[in-house]
Structure 1
Amino acid sequence: MRLLLMSDTHLPRRARELPAPLLAGLPRADVVVHAGDWVDTATLDLLESRSRRLVAVYGNNDGPGLRARLPEVAYADIGGLRFGVVHETGPARGREARCAERFPGLDVLVFGHSHIPWDTTAPTGLRLLNPGSPTDRRRQPYCTYMTASVAGGRLVDVVLHRLPPRRT
């Protein structure tokens, strides 16, 4: 199972559209995960129409239209692994322990909010992934998203993709 992970797209505030490399990856993904802060419903409509399976949540910048269509926390069984998706996990310090306590029984938690890529594993075995943002790098050197695969009941081939700078 091939996964494409993204968060914090903030369209059309930070960019007018999703980057071409990310859009090109949609047809190759069995599951697309978006960890919130869409800002516009058009991006949700686009991902729903182009994804085989979409697992997504709303973020703190998402208004009533998105909140009516998306949960605050989403859960999905993907290839035998239990995934959770949430926008906000709090400060980096103590994140692994806090998330392991809040989300017992999960194998993988995908989150966003900070725009800072993150890939760690809690002592309980919970894998925490933040794909960063494909449209708003903030203080990061690159805009980013992630891909991964689930094979044999394991998360493998987790790759952080750096996007080329946008032309202005």
Structure 2
Amino acid sequence: MQLVIAADTHVPKRARDLPVPLWAAIDAADVVLHAGDWVDVTLLDAVQARARRLVAVYGNNDGPPLRARLPEVARVELDGLRVAVVHETGPRTRREERCAARFPDCDLLVFGHSHIPWDSVAPNGLRLLNPGSPTDRRAQPYATYLTARVAAGRLDEVELHRLPPR
């Protein structure tokens, strides 16, 4: 099962549309995980129309129309992998411990908000992934998103994709 992991897309606030390589990845994926800050419901509609399956949440920049359609936290099992998606996890200090306590029944936590790619493992084995942002790199050298593969309850082939400058 091929995953695309994105967050902090901020369309049309930071970009008119998603980058072409991300759209291609969405078209090829079995599941798209989006950790919020869509900004406009039009992007949600577009991703839903193209994704085979979408698991998504709202972020702090998402207003009432998005919050009416998306949860704050999404949970799903993907081929035996227990996944949670949330926008914010708080400060980076002690993030692993905090998230392990909040999501003790999960194998993978996907989050956004910081626009900073993150890949770590909590003491209980919870994997934490933040894809960065494909449209608003802020102080990061590249705009980014992630892809990964799930098979028999295991996550592997996690790859951070750097997007060309706009």
TM-score range, shorter chain: over 0.9
Look up the SS of the partner of 2:46 in the other structure.
helix
| Correspondence list, 1:51-130, <5 A | 51-130=51-130
* Aligned position for 1:150: 150
Structure 1 unmatched runs, 5+: none
- Measured after TM superposition, the shift of residue 40 of structure 1 is 0.3
Aligned length: 166
2:143 is aligned with what amino acid? C
Look up the SS of the partner of 2:106 in the other structure.
coil
Task: Give the whole-Å Cα distance in 1 for the aligned partners of 2:153 and 2:35.
Answer: 22
* Aligned position for 1:10: 10
Look up the SS of the partner of 1:69 in the other structure.
coil
Task: Give the whole-Å Cα distance in 2 for the aligned partners of 1:142 and 1:131.
Answer: 11
Look up the SS of the partner of 2:68 in the other structure.
helix
1:10 is aligned with what amino acid? H
* C-alpha distance after superposition, 1:8-28 (max 9, x if no partner): 000111010000000011121
Q: What is the identity percentage for the equivalent residue pairs of Structure 1 and Structure 2?
A: 70
TM-score, length basis structure 1:
0.98
Structure 2 unmatched runs, 5+: none
Task: Give the whole-Å Cα distance in 2 for the aligned partners of 1:86 and 1:44.
Answer: 16
* C-alpha distance after superposition, 1:36-64 (max 9, x if no partner): 00000011001100011000000000000
